[in-house]
């Protein structure tokens, strides 16, 4: 995905209007692992997640906390606990919608997670 990332970043620098407002988070399993395959992002703030789901949630939540215009976000543990519950319930959700967890496409996963979130509000 280096090409797509480069296009996205370039649109922020070269685009007009809303394109110049682009914000992005780059995550990798290790802090400097990206240098092995895409050295052009040196100088960017690369977030490391240690290859764990909780690490990904923490890195994303912490990054988002800087872009909320003062809105407080739930803590990492709270989000991770809800994510873990959702994952436990995922087979039941899939069965209801005649889907298979291992075959879910990204849009299906996000749709099911939205259903879960709305049901727990």
Task: Domain ranges for the chain, please list them.
Answer: 2-67, 76-119
- For Cα atoms 94, 99, 104, give the angle at the middle one, nearest 5 degrees: 95
pLDDT at 43: 47
Comparing 27 with 95, which gets the higher pLDDT? 95
Asked if 43 and 81 touch (Cβ cutoff 8 Å), the reply is no
Work out the pLDDT band at 67, boundaries 50, 70, 90: confident
Which two tokens mark 114? 């939205």
12-54 tens-digit pLDDT: 888 888 888 888 777 776 665 555 555 555 445 556 677 789 9
Asked if 37 and 52 touch (Cβ cutoff 8 Å), the reply is no
Q: What is the DSSP string of 28-50?
A: ESSTTGGGGT-GGGTTS-EEE-T
For residue 53, how far is the Cα from the chain centroid? Answer: 10
> Helix, strand, or coil here: 14?
helix
Phi, psi of 45 (to 5 degrees): -90, 95
As a whole-number percent, the residues of the chain with pLDDT over 90 amount to 47
The answer to whether the pTM exceeds 0.85 is no
Comparing 66 with 107, which gets the higher pLDDT? 107
């Amino acid at each position: 995905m280096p090409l797509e990332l480069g296009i996205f970043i370039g649109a922020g620098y070269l685009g007009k209007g809303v394109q110049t407002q682009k914000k992005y988070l780059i995550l990798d399993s290790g802090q400097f692992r990206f240098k092995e395959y895409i050295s052009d992002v040196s100088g960017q703030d690369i977030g490391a997640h240690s290859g764990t789901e909780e690490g990904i949630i923490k890195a994303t939540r912490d990054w988002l906390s800087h872009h909320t215009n003062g809105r407080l976000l739930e803590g990492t543990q709270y989000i991770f606990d809800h994510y873990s519950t959702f994952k436990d319930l995922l087979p039941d959700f899939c069965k209801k919608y005649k889907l298979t967890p291992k075959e879910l496409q990204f849009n299906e996963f996000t749709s099911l997670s939205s259903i879960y979130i709305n049901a727990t509000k």
